[in-house]
Amino acid sequence: MLKLLIVCALAAISAADIPEEEDVLVLKKSNFEEALKTYPNILVEFYAPWCGHCKALAPEYAKAAGMLKAESTDIRLAKVDATEESELAQEFGVRGYPTIKFFKGGEKENPKEYSAGRQADDIVNWLKKRTGPAATTLSDDVESEDAKVFIKTAEAVDDIPFGIVSNDAVFSKFEVAKDGVVLFKKFDEGRNTFDGEISKENLLNFIKANQLPLVIEFTEQTAPKIFGGEIKSHILMFVPKTATDFQEKMDQFKKASEGFKGKILFIFIDSDVADNQRILEFFGLKKEECPAIRLITLEEEMTKYKPENSEITAENIITFCTDFTEGKLKPHLMSQDIPEDWDKNPVKVLVGKNFEEVAFDPAKNVFVEFYAPWCGHCKQLAPIWDQLGEKFKDKANIVVAKMDSTVNEIEAVKVHSFPTLKFFPAGDDRKVIDYNGERTLDGFTKFLESGGKEGGAPAGDEDEESTLEIKQIEHHNRTN
């Protein structure tokens, strides 16, 4: 007993050395490992003081910390200023803010990425599911096969509390006539009753189809549920909440959603919100073009679709979604108009509308830079690319070109990083070669003079630098 008391006392002293702000532990490299040893279950937010998303999360994060501390649980919330503690941020792969990770049992290796919402209740529920029994037992009947399957299902779902009950009064109160599974929720119809054969797969599909509202608003809080869910086909309605016909549009959108539950996620985005402007830009939309409808699949290759009829009615939306599910739609590819002076300078300007004609000209060898205006690497490359254009401007069979891939999309090339450099050699076989050599005038020159052999590779091979750039793009998207 004396030994136990001494160990507990030492733990208390160590815990007291870790400062707190609003019940949130403040961690640094110097006390990080001690915190993991002291608290067996700890959620850590890596943040930047200037990050708007971090500022929005702060009050809810502190509220969750207070709720857990008041319950005297062994779960604590902590935070790390990643701009000050860069070594910790690098160690745990922090690429954007906030990044939230869950550490269990004092182990630093392989922390669990937090994947639920950003309200205090979401945080608390997620942590309790991670640290306690998967399903709260309200009865003694947990040995039946159905109960075992139910508990296994609960272990696979992070953000929904599960319970097992056999009390007659509870059955009566909730008007449940027989054994079964009921999902209770605070939106739409209020509850859903499972009526299939009880298996983990069937229960997960039932939850997937019913856990979100028929129509969900895109916000910082709902984004994790939207992008972290199983449904990867999303239809988006861009509409200002201040519009006089907002509710009418919402009614039509919701009516259309009823037939696609579990297949397509219906999302509306307030087009007046400043933080949503980048989403509009991603779809090639301007505020004055809203309300508008778009559909996107978030598989390995993101594909966008645009309805032929822009009028927002339930009938039109149902037709659009039905055509999508039946594979009848062609992807919507953005394109700027062809500039009048696109070929006046040594570096030719390509857009979606003239790409095919120029890049796949069988008489020309075409070297194209796919860039983003905000990309730092692209800005560094720009003067070298201009020099290359100048050097080959008098070569009739060589074209040096560039295309802004943030506002132009083409079927033949999927751009995953910036800058992406591709060579389209002369001929009728529509061959594409990736450039993987040095980004210097000399490197580019040797590549072109060798017909795409020196420094080239068949399209599709990713090198280490491209992978790094993908991470930089993700970081840019999350921190701006």
Q: Which residues are catalytic?
A: 51, 54, 375, 378
Helix (H) or strand (E) holding 101: strand 99-104
Query: How far apart, in whole angstroms, are the C-alpha atoms of residue 281 and residue 283?
Result: 5
CB 322 within 8 A of CB 235: no
CB 206 within 8 A of CB 183: yes
CB 43 within 8 A of CB 123: yes
Q: 3-class SS at 159?
A: coil
Which tokens go with 120? 């205090």
Q: 3-class SS at 249?
A: helix
Query: How far apart, in whole angstroms, are the C-alpha atoms of residue 110 and residue 112?
Result: 6
CB 342 within 8 A of CB 349: yes
**Residues linked to residue 163 through DSSP beta bridges, in sequence order:** 136
Per-state percent for the chain, helix, strand, coil, to nearest 5? 35, 20, 40
Q: 3-class SS at 39?
A: coil
Nearest to 445 by CA among 357, 401, 384, 382: 384
Which residue blocks in 29-97 are alpha helix, DSSP H? 32-38, 52-70, 86-91
Rounded to whole angstroms, the maximal C-alpha distance in the chain is 90
CB 14 within 8 A of CB 67: no
CB 430 within 8 A of CB 422: no
**Torsions phi, psi of 137, nearest 5?**
-95, 115
Helix axes 200-210, 145-155, angle to 10 degrees: 50
Which tokens go with 150? 């139910």
Residue 289: half-sphere exposure toward Cβ, Cα within 13 Å: 12
Nearest to 320 by CA among 296, 341, 338, 290: 296
* Rg of the chain taking only CA atoms, in angstroms: 27
